[in-house]
Amino acid sequence: MNTAQQLRAEAARRILIKDGAYGTQIQARRLEEADYRGALDLVRDQKGNNDLLNLTRPDLVREIAQSFADAGADILATNTFNASAISQADYGAEHLVREINIAAARITREVADSDGRRRWVAGAVGPTNKTLSLSPNVDDPGYREVDFDTVSDVYVEQIAALVEGGVDFVLIETVFDTLNAKAAIHAARRVDPELPIMVSMTITDLSGRNLSGHSIESFWASVRHARPLSIGLNCSFGAAQLRAHIAALSGIADTLIMAYPNAGLPNDLGDYDECAATTAAQVREWADQGIVNIVGGCCGTTPAHIRAIAEAVRDFPPRLIPSVERRTRLAGIEPMILAA
């Protein structure tokens, strides 16, 4: 079996565990700018460039990945959320994109394979800080800072490097703009038509829409053609607020559901106060409802959160993938399902 088949087989047997947030763990270490920069000759301030740590502090990245593996994670994501040329341009480090992604994939691969337990490595691909669907200029609705081909090319560079570094599949995550996600899917297919992909949307309000205005149902209709290994939600809100939206997606998606929420909502200082037991209890309700195949954590979650989540869902069977009637499904802001 290939890696995708192996993951599907294991996900049919039990609920799998994804890791938690790199950003939270890095921030907790209160690094100085010199820690990020290392010996690299870069003009701009590098503080906050978490992805660069794959090159300058690989020991720290490895330590974080290992902590999530030790907590019970079956799927380890690379520390590459902003490791694309668009995002690294903010730091003047876009020329290091290939090196960053290869290093991140190799670090995570080493941790995943270190103890003989079967784990998978997901190459994390973030949304960038540009949007294809919306204009950043309120006076010019038709203006775009980037076009589809440019974004696809940027993702090709990142994804090709992640594959070279040894990831099992690509995780297109925190999708706030559906068209950006489609550019990432297009790029993955350009790199390797058989490369397994996972897709995870983030909703920006409690009605269940992302920033480009797509509902859960229309988003799925927009990306279903890619036959993703998993579809799901991440970031957004805490687990309690996501439950209804995950349930809705679970009922229509004929693939694995992966959901990894924040540790509640941030406080006035931007910190996350929700303890591991609280997050785990809420995720346990998802498992009890039978709506998830893979669970983990996003912003604010620590190894303690992942360990608690793994314990909370251990005795629950995974969601059964539904058989979906073959119909023509179109997607705008809302989905359109044509009569058979």
Residue 336 has pLDDT above 70, yes or no: no
Query: Has residue 307 got a pLDDT over 90?
Result: yes
The pLDDT value given to residue 27 = 92
Pick the range with the lowest mean pLDDT from 101-110, 138-147, 244-253.
138-147
Average pLDDT, stretch 100-117?
Answer: 97
Tens digits of residue pLDDT in 222-277: 999 999 999 999 998 889 999 999 999 999 999 999 999 999 888 877 788 899 99
Average pLDDT of every residue of the chain: 93
Residue 309 near residue 17 (C-beta atoms within 8 A): yes
Share of the chain above pLDDT 70, in %: 96
Please compute the mean of the pLDDT values over residues 151-163 and round it to a whole number: 98
Look at 8-12, 240-244, 256-260, 286-290 and tell me which has the smallest mean pLDDT: 240-244
Q: What is the mean pLDDT of residues 8-18?
A: 98
According to the 3-state scheme, what is the secondary structure of the chain? Answer: CCHHHHHHHHHCCCCEEECCCHHHHHHHCCCCHHHHHCCCCCCCCCCCCHHHHHHHCHHHHHHHHHHHHHCCCCEEECCCCCCCHHHHHHHCCHHHHHHHHHHHHHHHHHHHCCCCCCCEEEEEECCCCCCCCCCCCCCCCCCCCCCHHHHHHHHHHHHHHHHHHCCCEEEEEEECCHHHHHHHHHHHHHHCCCCCEEEEECCCCCCCECCCCCEHHHHHHHHHHHCCCEEEEEECCCHHHHHHHHHHHHHHCCCEEEEEECCCCECCCCCECCCHHHHHHHHHHHHHHCCCCEECCCCCCCHHHHHHHHHHHCCCCCCCCCCCCCCCEEECCCEEECCC
Q: What is the mean pLDDT of residues 112-124?
A: 96
Q: What is the mean pLDDT of residues 290-317?
A: 97
| pLDDT (mean) for 195-216 | 89
Q: What is the pLDDT of residue 300?
A: 94
Matching CATH number, 3-337, of 3.20.20.330, 3.40.50.300, 3.30.360.10, 3.30.70.360: 3.20.20.330
For residue 137, what pLDDT band results from cuts at 50, 70 and 90? confident
For the chain, the structural domain boundaries read 3-337
pLDDT one-digit tens code per residue, 54-72: 999 999 999 999 999 999 9
Q: What is the pLDDT of residue 20?
A: 97
Q: Give residue 148's pLDDT.
A: 97
pLDDT at 2 over 80: yes
What digits encode the pLDDT tens for the residues 159-198? 999 999 999 999 999 999 999 999 999 999 999 999 999 9
Q: Which of 145-159, 205-219, 227-241 has the highest mean pLDDT?
A: 145-159
